[in-house]
A and B are shown apart, each in its own frame.
Chain A
């Protein structure tokens, strides 16, 4: 059975055992509350202070929502990597994965699936559509493609963040808290309007972890805010590139694990 089919079989298994768990509707509610409470401060600020020049609340929320939706997609489909450092390495369950004749990436990715994480994706997409409508979005084929590619690029980018975290986890657990800057911290940076964002943050989140490439530039290209059109299409390649980088870190981590045991 090829890898993708096997991944979905894993997912099915997780779904079946997850539904048995009594609390799952509450978990969805929980995610919804998180999704709403995160940007609420920003929304209140806008309601009190009004817009910042051309930067209306819709603009900022659109960029924010693009990043968050990408994060949510990665969380939904690659949740196993999110759990990996804290559970699998500690339990020694990784050995079992090494003993199966299958790609390690696939096994870790499929090891967890929490359907309620989709609530974040749902919320994000609703926010995106709402903002696009308020911003006079022209739903041409190209514009829609830019947005969709942006989201897919976001999926790959954040998947890369999870994979890189797991790769580093082979070496140290302590250092992982720094990673939160790139996971939860990264889409918080979108709250700064681009014109006023400190340059160092701009560079970090464009060239290292391409969070802005999957959120701001596609939004700008689809709505004509001033950035060059071609930058809007960078989301997918940037995401893939970052994922490749992360897989490299992951492989180094696996090699380290095999030479030092658990």
Chain B
């Protein structure tokens, strides 16, 4: 085995074990998960109520189905959005942030592993952690609701399959964006403002606030190709049936392409900053 390949596998193994440790750490936050789930469920129920009111009583109530999204689909979307919204970076992993603000990045660099991938593994694990408790409780609640409020099954089985694949690429997308945010934060040590704005915009454009199909018509084209659609909207469209498995190729491809873009930009920003730190001594 060549040296590069063995070191890459070594890297991968190291990443996975960091990943495992971090998820195990997060496993204990059950109470926070339950409390968070309750808040989330309350939120979804209000959302569904609002959607129902619009779909049933609004002056132009056909506007929903005309946009390609029925009420039932919107309800399922709302539930799934509430669950997978948690995967999105809303804040920089506190461990990493601590290292950045305290200037301990220099110490991190003494480890044999490439800093980007090291932090990638940590961040990726942070993305998943809330899903365990809060996500599963919310999922169960969604399945148990009375019919008009319920999370219904996937449109087709292949649709479900594509949902899962798409969710995995969404996970990569979220993690790589989170890393980009970290890299930006490294370069802007004086405050959280810019990075917070970055994450907020990502959240809004992901469909977490409103399914992208219900956004104004003239934005639809833009909304589909922008990177954050891949966070949430694309996987959920597969589930709900508004995106056919046949179109799966380019949709998932888009997610992965944006992931790659984020990774490249993130890694470049980080490397440049880290070189600076090495020269100036943190």
Contacts and interface: CB of A to CB of B under 8 A. Distances in A.
Q: So, do A and B actually touch in the complex, CB under 8 Å?
A: yes
Interface of A: 21-23, 26-27, 29-30, 33-34, 37, 40-42, 44-45, 47-53, 174-178, 180-181, 185, 188-189, 191-193, 196-198, 201
A52 B39 contact: no
Given A188-B43, A191-B46, A47 B216 contact: yes
Contacts of B36: 177
A175 B215 CA distance: 36
B58 A51 contact: yes
B210 interface: yes
> Which of A41, A176, A189 is packed against the most chain B CB atoms within 10 Å?
A41
A23 B54 contact: no
Interface string B77-120: 00000000000000000000000000000000000000000000
The 5 A-B pairs at the shortest CB distance, nearest first, are namely: A23-B191, A26-B193, A177-B35, A41-B210, A50-B59
Contacts of A41: 209-210
Contacts of A42: 50
B58 A52 contact: yes
Nearest to B192: A23
5 contacts: A49-B58, A49-B59, A174-B31, A174-B32, A181-B42
A37 B60 contact: no
A181 B39 contact: yes
What's the interface size class on B, roughly?
A: 35 or more
B201 interface: yes
B35 A192 contact: no
Contacts of B39: 177-178, 180-181, 185
Interface string B210-252: 1000111000000000000000000000000000000000000
Contact of A51 (B51, B59, B193, B204): B59
A33 B67 CA distance: 27
B38 interface: yes
A42 to B, nearest CB: 7
Specify the main secondary structure of chain B where it touches its partner. helix
Nearest to A56: B59
A48 B67 contact: yes
Given A22-B190, A49-B60, 10 more contacts: A23-B190, A26-B194, A26-B197, A37-B200, A44-B214, A49-B55, A49-B61, A177-B39, A178-B38, A185-B46
Interface string B181-198: 000000000111110110
A82 to B, nearest CB: 16
A111 B276 CA distance: 37
